[in-house]
Structure 1
């Protein structure tokens, strides 16, 4: 090897070690940068010179700067980010719902219901006393007032979620555009070369992590370096600067529908903050719809059953009792029909009310499926004279229903909002079961007192108090489950982050060792230059 070849070797070492030192310095400067993946200088032998005597080395070169990461671990982190964000929202919201019910502190609706039936028991011991009759009316009013307060708090929680969702959707769409922009930049920067656009890939991964906190998705890598992001069955981000934004559509019943390219993806969105919000707003078995239904069913049952006994008895004036509470009515909602409408919806048999909510889903002009919202079951039926009768409710339609038309029917929807105590005079309480027993008759008061312990098949074969307790317990179980899930998910995410940091994080100790290593190599290469320069000078002097 000649002196000039030796000089070239030294120069390649100086250049390469300088680049390696730059990579190490960049790692150290980004030790606290979120989402940064440590980069390694990958060194490679230069192509040798070939001659008759054989090949001779030409030094070293920087083959590439490699981003150190584990794709599997990072994919698991994205999945756990989706789950963790969902469980966090569920836990927080269910705790708000549980607090609104206030039963865990012994001051909730359960205590008011118990007090109401105890007041009837007290009335039965002295039915002619006006003071005790006043207590019965006051306790009845307290039930309605407390139920209205709880329902109002449920509505506030529901409204809060509704206000949050548009911002969350906007954030998803903004992140989708960022990811698409990174896709284009990465494809241009890499251009099929071995060297990857490390910093751009880190930024894109950080955007994906933010996206995972909002919504569940899957990704697919493209050979160009771009990725496709799929939500449900549609691409949110496609290859080639393509973004298909999510659009939000509020239904007439308050539920939310999310579309991509005009195609409903709501049922496929189950993770992230938005997945939790959809579950809380839309689910008939959990979330706010179930909480509303449980509360309203309780009040509807009290209203209907108390009125039934009250109207069988006689008041202090010898008159047959009137409704204690404002009676139930049928709530209907046209969810989408433009050719048909409800002209009449009445309760024709109060004793047949089951406190269930239904959807009438038309499959033809007169044919329909009656869908039980809570139990998720359906039965087929045909209109008779444009009417249908179910659970003591008779609903009549005008116009011509078309296949796909949906109407909601509910005997409980307005039970709280329209609820009130109808009696204004304590003498109107029908405590006696016979006009001849007045003023001392207490048969009806005893029947009313026993109502609190009476098992009702329409309330899952439980008493009113037991039924409402099950509603409270169910919400509590949801809150407890979400809390357990959140704790587990948080621990899992923490472990994954630690594992990822051990792979991709910057270790200052390791970088310090690399600095020393590359510094020594740089100094040695510089010494080769000095030696080579000295030898060249000697050679020149000899030639002279």
Structure 2
């Protein structure tokens, strides 16, 4: 080995030390950058064969710059990140629903329900007082507005979640495209046995971000390119990326308003995409399950109030002695459209606070022959040509029996009664031409007078009646307040469960990231030690070159 070989060894030593200092400086500069993986300079002894001495050292050779990272831990982080994304959206939705219902005691639905029934209780004291009646109507209108507002806020949550689905799909497509471009970049760099360290770091960060949006699986080929699939469909491959597409379907709500519901499809197959994890799953579940569930419960309360109040009110009497008046509009039973009936809004004297002074039961039977056409029946006593009219019917029933066979006909299967026209029509041809017995049973009452409060008492007592949550036998098991309280309690439990799941998943991610940081993270102490090492090797290589130069000078001056 000659002096020129020594110069070569020194030069390669300088280059390796300089490169080592560059790598160390890069590590130090990015010590606080999230997702950065520390780099390591891999070097190996260089050698050549000498005819006299065999293999001899020829300095140092740089193999590559390696990225230090555990890909298995990255996979575990992405798996937990999928769950974090899902529970974040569920927790956020339940938090918003809680904000709708969990209000100060004097402004919540339960408070307005109490005020509504309190006004009926007050009406029992002053049944013919216009001011008391006006207060009853006003509290009913306030309760109606509360239902409308609550339903509207739930609708807004659902529409917001629906819009966020479109935003998340756009982000998925953006990330997929960028991951595909990084695939191309990595394959281009690593074709020459080099490492695309920074591009891989960038791609890992994007994969982590994507895993929070949707459930993904990844595989890497020999060229370093990843294939990303979700629900068995490829969205990123070494050759292209597939976009998710939004389709919109406009539907009508019960209150007549429209809703543009979005769904997601794979662009290449047009198949519907139903995510199994990530934020998109949480958004779909929020929109299609969670919010509608609470909307249905709110509708159930509104419908029960309409039906139960009307059921009692219609049998009572207004100040003019008329019955059959609905307090709420019977055609509007949802929380979004519940309303006080026009009769009550126009005149508070139509509020039926009075009940019956006397109740009577009746029972009439008519025998006639039926054919295919409807038959109109009049109940006339024998020899009396006048029609008999029954007024103030509180309840009643019709029973039709085949006189020959004794078979009781089934309503709306064998026959139909039109109470408005007073007609009975035979539906089952089996009974054509038969003599049928038509038995009427009815219960009537009479007006007790404007000072009576029995109907107002009955409506006020609805507050304590079991009117909701029927058991297996059809018996109601809860009052309105009990049902609402249970409803709010379950909402709190669901929120706590979602929050607990979210905290658990975040804890697991922190554990995995701590482990990954111990491997891939930059330790400034270690980097300072590396810096000192490369500084000394650089100085030593420079001294070697300087010594070789002086020896060459001696030779040249001989």
Please indicate the TM-score interval, normalised by the length of the shorter structure.
0.7 to 0.9
Q: Distance in 2 between matches of 1:276 and 1:213?
A: 11
Q: State the secondary structure of the residue aligned to 2:58.
A: coil
Once the two structures are superposed, residues 476-514 of structure 1 have per-residue CA deviations (whole angstroms, 9 ceiling, x without a partner) of 333333333333344443343333333222222221111
Larger Rg: 2
Q: Report if aligned partners of 1:459, 1:467 keep a CA contact under 8 Å in 2.
A: no
Q: What corresponds to 1:416 in structure 2? A: 336
Alpha-carbon offset, residue 104 of structure 1: 5.5
Q: Distance in 1 between matches of 2:338 and 2:354?
A: 28
Name the count of aligned residue pairs: 453
CA RMSD of aligned residues (A): 2.4
Give matches, 1:322-401, under 5 Å. Answer: 322-328=325-331
Q: What corresponds to 2:226 in structure 1? A: 227
Of the candidates 429, 441, 456, which is equivalent to residue 445 of structure 1?
Answer: 456
Q: Distance in 2 between matches of 1:248 and 1:459?
A: 41
Q: Report if aligned partners of 2:246, 2:265 keep a CA contact under 8 Å in 1.
A: yes
Give matches, 1:143-542, under 5 Å. Answer: 143-191=143-191, 193-240=192-239, 242-253=240-251, 254=259, 255-260=261-266, 261-272=268-279, 274-283=280-289, 286=290, 288-328=291-331, 414-422=334-342, 423-424=344-345, 425-434=347-356, 435-456=446-467, 461-541=477-557
Once the two structures are superposed, residues 370-401 of structure 1 have per-residue CA deviations (whole angstroms, 9 ceiling, x without a partner) of xxxxxxxxxxxxxxxxxxxxxxxxxxxxxxxx
Q: Distance in 2 between matches of 1:173 and 1:19?
A: 38
TM-score by length of 1: 0.77
Once the two structures are superposed, residues 77-122 of structure 1 have per-residue CA deviations (whole angstroms, 9 ceiling, x without a partner) of 2233333333333333322222222446442111111222232233
Q: What corresponds to 1:40 in structure 2? A: 40
Bigger shift: residues 180-189 or 85-94: 85-94
Once the two structures are superposed, residues 215-260 of structure 1 have per-residue CA deviations (whole angstroms, 9 ceiling, x without a partner) of 33221212221111112221111221x1111112233345432111
User: Unaligned regions of 5+ residues in structure 2, if any?
Assistant: 252-258, 357-445, 472-476
Q: Distance in 1 between matches of 2:215 and 2:104?
A: 34
TM-score by length of 2: 0.75
Q: Report if aligned partners of 1:186, 1:225 keep a CA contact under 8 Å in 2.
A: yes
Once the two structures are superposed, residues 395-442 of structure 1 have per-residue CA deviations (whole angstroms, 9 ceiling, x without a partner) of xxxxxxxxxxxxxxxxx6x45325334313222222233034223333
Alpha-carbon offset, residue 158 of structure 1: 2.3
Q: Distance in 1 between matches of 2:173 and 2:497?
A: 31
Residues 131 and 262 of structure 1, relative CA distance in 2, 3 Å threshold: farther
Alpha-carbon offset, residue 32 of structure 1: 3.4
Q: Distance in 2 between matches of 1:136 and 1:19?
A: 86
Q: Report if aligned partners of 1:9, 1:59 keep a CA contact under 8 Å in 2.
A: yes
Bigger shift: residues 44-53 or 169-178: 44-53
Q: Report if aligned partners of 1:176, 1:236 keep a CA contact under 8 Å in 2.
A: yes
Q: Report if aligned partners of 2:70, 2:516 keep a CA contact under 8 Å in 1.
A: yes
Q: Does 1:69 pair with 2:69?
A: yes
Q: Report if aligned partners of 2:354, 2:451 keep a CA contact under 8 Å in 1.
A: yes
Bigger shift: residues 299-308 or 468-477: 468-477
Bigger shift: residues 454-463 or 174-183: 454-463
Alpha-carbon offset, residue 474 of structure 1: 2.7
Q: Report if aligned partners of 1:124, 1:431 keep a CA contact under 8 Å in 2.
A: yes
Bigger shift: residues 109-118 or 155-164: 155-164
Residues 457 and 468 of structure 1, relative CA distance in 2, 3 Å threshold: closer
Q: State the secondary structure of the residue aligned to 1:15.
A: helix
Bigger shift: residues 306-315 or 102-111: 102-111
Alpha-carbon offset, residue 281 of structure 1: 0.9
Once the two structures are superposed, residues 31-77 of structure 1 have per-residue CA deviations (whole angstroms, 9 ceiling, x without a partner) of 33332211010111224425454322222111111101111222232
Q: State the secondary structure of the residue aligned to 2:56.
A: coil
Alpha-carbon offset, residue 201 of structure 1: 0.6
Q: Report if aligned partners of 1:7, 1:532 keep a CA contact under 8 Å in 2.
A: yes
Q: Distance in 1 between matches of 2:468 and 2:94?
A: 28
Q: Distance in 2 between matches of 1:104 and 1:87?
A: 27
Residues 421 and 108 of structure 1, relative CA distance in 2, 3 Å threshold: farther
User: Unaligned regions of 5+ residues in structure 1, if any?
Assistant: 330-411
